[in-house]
A and B are shown apart, each in its own frame.
Chain A
Amino acid sequence: MNSAQMVLLVATVLFTLGLVGVLTRKNVIFMLISVEIMLNAAGMAFVAAGSKWQQPDGQVMFLFILAMAAAEVSVGLALVLQIYHQHKTMDVDRLKELRD
């Protein structure tokens, strides 16, 4: 098993962790964190791939993901704050207003 495969394995584990976190957590903040973990896993895979093919694209993509994650977190946290203000809860199972 070479290093690229190792890194991909780690990325997969990270991604699964994030995914399980999103699926199981009730708290919106933890879900956001889990999403971040998944994004980082994807970024790691990009970097590994970039180093494998000796191309700069992987790192460019990682930078892009970083920027996007930052933006996402800032918007997401603002939404979370608003949700907390309006509903006084962070539990996604009780936030079902979109259902209808």
Chain B
Amino acid sequence: MQQLLTYIPTLPLIGFIVLSLFGRKLSKPVIAAIGAGTVCIAAIISIVLGIAFLQTPPSGGAWQQLLWSWFKVGTLTVDISLRVDALTLVFIFIITFVGALIHIYSTFFMWRDADYARFFACMNLFVCSMLLLVMADNLLLLYLGWEGVGLCSYLLIGFWYDVPSNCRAANKAFLITRIGDTALLIGLFLLFKELGSLNMTTILQQAPGHFAAGSSTITLITILLLAGGMGKSAQLPLQTWLPDAMAGPSPVSALIHAATMVTAGVYLIARMNGLFLMSPVTMAIVAIVGAITLFVAGCSALAQTDIKRILAYSTISQIGYMFLALGVGAWSAAVFHFFTHAFFKALLFLAAGVVIEALHHEHNIFMMGGLRKRMPAVYITFLAGAAALSALPLVSAGFYSKDAILWYSWSAAGGSPVLWFMALAGAFITALYSTRLMLVVFWGEMKTPIHEQPNRGMIIPLLILAFFSVTAGFIEWPHNMFQVTLFADHVQRVLPETLMKQNEPSEALLQGIAALVTLAGIYLGYVLYYGKSGVRWQQSPGLSATRNFLFSGWKFDQLYSFVFVKPYLFLTRINKGDVIDRLYSAIAQGSMRMNTWLSVSQNGSLRMYIVGVLAGILFIITLQLFL
């Protein structure tokens, strides 16, 4: 089994190499076969691997495969070495399985694009980097994957590079995540300085002995790691890049900006749980960041009109839930929410892609409408996704994962009623905007004619994802219903168990409140947006200031532009000519000036020279006489 590990990231890598070198010479079916095929095989391998893992868990809880020694300098040894344990397995499964579905979908979605090969090359490279990220056994290899996914995200957001705004969005995504990445890198330096190793197993083993719990060093390290995670996972205050990242093709948004890459921060924190647990301060910060982010992004989603931007803000919000869960110590709940979220959010993005494509690249939801009858398959799958997103009780996967987070945000050791209340408000908002999205896009009257029906090849992945969006939650039931906790049992081989408080309100009560709030959100959405009232509500002048504020994502972009971008541009612009160079130019100019002055004496008149010589002689004689 262990030998199979290598193939999982290698296959997409081969796809990338072949496509990037020979992509222009291959025909489209061949490109599609290579691009999607490699990921599909990787998915099959990872499923095989997963089954083997569940049947006969490897000794030590992980498979390890050393490829080669990357470098060894002084006391630092870094290997290119893969390690798969229970947590990684979940991520591998999502990356390859959802990735394969999205690749299949893309073969049809991108069919008419001239740069077919480039698209699949980048997608394959992404899958490879993401797999390396989660399979790395040391932090530097993780960082390699971490930057690799950033690169692919950059390349794919700016895939249609001839539109300047796409390139700006790509740059923004890369730069903002880069800020987080740099913080992560500094965290690695500090970790290495303290522990002398970058191997994750070693770090987790040695950390409890080396650091005092709650000491400032461990807090600093974890905050730096957290900053890296915040950049990649678009958490406040580094969230502004994700809505703009929707400039990329829809499959890219589905794979990178919903299902996999943006959850890298969740993976990092879950993987480094031992470090985070030692710093209560950081844990609290993680929870607070998550809570604030889920609320802020949810509100922004309410005001958007672009279908993909709604989904983008909802992604930020859902990752906020995962951070909240991590922060209160509900490790398995966070990973479970990642698991279900990957299905339903990928589904929503892919379905949105179909809708946008069918309506001549129309992104504005208020220009859509009435698609229920015309695109029934898309309607049904989208409904399944939206139900999961709004956590419709019992019948959607989102309910099971979000309910667990809500419960833990109050009753876990790190939880508090305030966090629970924020999460609850988020759940209400989520239900509201999901309903709004459904009603405005699929109900009402048709505003834009359908340009063509989607290809069946695109519908099949939607159906599969819709199936999982409904059923994926059944593997983990709330404690008070059935004793089915397959998922938690699985990941808790790696992740610590959640510590609970004593004497908390009953789980059933909180569940009931959460379900009621969700239904209330749906009902409010129905009241506000059903029929024509939606447009009226959207245009009501009394709320325009609030709406604009939320529409712009709480004005974070403007703030950053004012605080960082403009001063930076000003600084670079005034110093374009290089002040220091001016100094040297001044020396040169001074010499030139001296030259003009002194060359007056060089007038070429022989007699003046002789007078000069004479004056000199007289001067010397006078000196001799008087001194």
Contact at B604–A22, with CB atoms within 8 Å?
no
Instruction: Return the CB mask of A70-100 against B: 1 if under 8 Å, else 0.
Output: 0000000000000000000000110111111
Cβ–Cβ < 8 Å partners of B604 in chain A: 95-100
Measured CA separation A96–B604 after assembly (Å):
4
Task: Report A98 CB to chain B, min CB distance, Å.
Answer: 5
A30 → chain B, closest Cβ, in Å? 12
Interface assignment of B606: CB less than 8 Å from any CB of chain A: yes
Residue B56, interface by CB 8 Å: no
Q: Which residues of the partner chain B approach A69 to less than 8 Å between Cβ atoms?
A: none
Complex-state Cα separation, A52 to B603, whole angstroms: 44
Q: Are A95 and B602 in contact (CB under 8 A)?
A: no
Which of B233-241, B363-371, B607-615 is the contact stretch?
B607-615
**Are B614 and A95 in contact (CB-based, < 8 A)?**
no
Cβ-closest chain A residue relative to B606:
A92
Using a CB-CB cutoff of 8 Å, which residues 537-589 of chain B contact chain A? Answer: none
Residues from chain A with Cβ under 8 Å of B602 in the complex: 99-100
A83 CA to B607 CA, complexed, in Å:
17
Residues of chain B lying within 8 A (CB to CB) of residue A24: 607
Inter-chain contact total with CB atoms closer than 8 Å:
26
Nearest to A92 among chain B residues (CB) is B606
Cβ of A92 and Cβ of B603 under 8 Å apart?
A: no
Q: Which residues of A contact B610 (CB under 8 A)?
A: 22-23
- Are the C-beta atoms of B606 and A95 separated by less than 8 Å? yes
| CB neighbors of B among A16-52 (8 A) | 19, 22-24, 31
Contact present for A23 and B607 (CB under 8 Å): yes
- The answer on a CB contact under 8 Å between A23 and B611 is yes
Whether B607 pairs with A92 at a CB distance below 8 angstroms is: yes
B605 contacts chain A at the CB level, 8 A cutoff: yes
- Residues in B with CB closer than 8 Å to A99 are 602-604
- Chain B hits for A31, CB < 8 A: 606
Given the complex of chains A and B, what is the CA–CA distance between A97 and B603 in angstroms? Answer: 9
A93/B611 in contact, CB under 8 A: no
A96 touching B607, Cβ below 8 Å: no
CA distance A24 to B606 in the complex (A): 11
Interface size class of B (residues with CB under 8 A): under 10
Cα distance A19–B614 in the bound complex, in angstroms: 9
B614 close to A96 (CB less than 8 A): no
Which applies to chain A's interface (DSSP): helix, strand, loop or mixed? helix
Complexed CA–CA distance, A9 and B604 (Å) = 34
Tell me the smallest distance from the CB of B618 to a CB of chain A, in Å: 12
Residues of B within 8 Å of A93, CB to CB, are 605, 607
* Complex interface bits, B596-627 against A, C-beta within 8 A gives 1, otherwise 0: 00000011111100110010000000000000
Contact across chains for B605 and A92 when beta carbons are under 8 A apart: yes
Q: How far is the CA of A24 from the CA of B602 in the complex (A)?
A: 19
Using Cβ atoms and an 8 Å threshold, which residues of chain B touch A100? 602, 604
In the bound assembly, the distance between CA atoms of A77 and B611 in angstroms comes to: 23
What separation, in Å, do the CA atoms of A53 and B607 have in the docked complex?
Answer: 37
Instruction: Give Cα A9–Cα B454 distance, bound, in whole angstroms.
Output: 122
A96–B611 CB distance below 8 A: no
Docked pose: A93 CA to B609 CA in angstroms: 12
The smallest beta-carbon distance between B42 and chain A, in angstroms, is 78
C-alpha gap A96/B614 in the complex (Å): 20
Specify the chain B residue showing the minimal Cβ separation from A96.
Answer: B604
Q: CB-nearest residue of chain A relative to B603?
A: A99
Could you tell me the distance between the alpha carbons of A92 and B614 in the complex, rounded to whole angstroms?
A: 18
Q: Which residues on the B side are within 8 Å of A95 (C-beta)? A: 604, 606
Most buried by A among B604, B610, B614: B604
Chain A residues near B606 (CB-CB < 8 A): 31, 92, 95
Please report the C-alpha to C-alpha distance between residue A9 and residue B409 in the assembled complex, in whole angstroms: 119
Chain B residues with Cβ below 8 Å from A97 are 604
Q: Which residue of B lies closest to A26 (CB)?
A: B607
When distances are taken between beta carbons in the complex, the residues of chain B under 8 Å from A19 are: 614
Taking the closest CB of chain B, its distance from the CB of A29, in whole angstroms, is 13
Could you tell me the distance between the alpha carbons of A93 and B605 in the complex, rounded to whole angstroms?
6
Closest to B611 in A: A23
Closest to A98 in B: B604
Output the nearest chain A residue to B614 by Cβ-Cβ distance: A19
What distance in Å separates the Cβ of A31 from its nearest Cβ neighbour in chain B?
Answer: 8
Q: How far is the CB of B279 from chain A (nearest CB, A)?
A: 77
Q: B153-175 toward A: CB 8 Å interface, digit per residue (1/0)?
A: 00000000000000000000000
When C-beta atoms are compared, the residue in chain B nearest to A22 turns out to be: B610
Docked CA distance A98–B604 (Å): 6
A24 smallest CB distance to B (angstroms): 8
Interface string of B225-258 (1 = CB under 8 A from A): 0000000000000000000000000000000000
A95 to B614, alpha carbons, bound, how many Å? 21
In the complex, 26 of the A-B residue pairs with CB atoms within 8 angstroms, ordered by the A residue number, are A19-B614, A22-B607, A22-B610, A23-B607, A23-B610, A23-B611, A23-B614, A24-B607, A31-B606, A92-B605, A92-B606, A92-B607, A93-B605, A93-B607, A95-B604, A95-B606, A96-B603, A96-B604, A96-B605, A97-B604, A98-B604, A99-B602, A99-B603, A99-B604, A100-B602, A100-B604
5 tightest Cβ-Cβ pairs between the two chains A and B: A99-B604, A96-B604, A92-B606, A98-B604, A23-B607
Given contacts A93-B605, A95-B606, 15 further A-B contacts (CB under 8 A): A19-B614, A22-B610, A23-B610, A24-B607, A31-B606, A92-B605, A92-B607, A93-B607, A95-B604, A96-B605, A97-B604, A98-B604, A99-B602, A99-B604, A100-B602
